[in-house]
């Protein structure tokens, strides 16, 4: 922390508890709905690709994207 011209800058810039509640509600709502939908998509990918993709590479690629998209949607997770 640097003091300039007799003023100190505050390091404590935590969001208010109301802001945290809104973020939490948005996160859990989005996570619940999108996970249910994307699970059905993953199940369909598994059913279609199971006969010829024994190592499940296509499904793995989709599930990696699935996890990555949560990191992009919720940048405050980092």
For the stretch 6-23, pLDDT in tens is: 555 555 566 677 788 888
Task: Give the separation between CA 26 and CA 63, rounded to whole angstroms.
Answer: 22
Mean pLDDT, to the nearest integer, of 12-38? Answer: 85
Nearest to 61 by CA among 48, 46, 76: 46
Of the two residues 18 and 65, the one the predictor is more confident about is 65
What integer pLDDT is reported at residue 30 of this predicted model?
A: 92
Q: What is the pTM of this model?
A: 0.68
What integer pLDDT is reported at residue 20 of this predicted model?
A: 83
């Amino acid at each position: 922390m640097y003091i300039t011209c007799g003023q100190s800058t505050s390091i404590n810039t935590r969001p208010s508890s109301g802001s945290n509640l809104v973020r939490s509600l948005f996160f859990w709502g989005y996570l619940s709905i999108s996970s249910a939908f994307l699970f059905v998509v993953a199940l369909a990918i598994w059913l279609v690709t199971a006969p010829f993709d024994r190592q499940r590479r296509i499904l793995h690629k989709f599930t990696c994207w699935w996890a990555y998209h949560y990191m992009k949607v919720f940048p405050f997770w980092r």
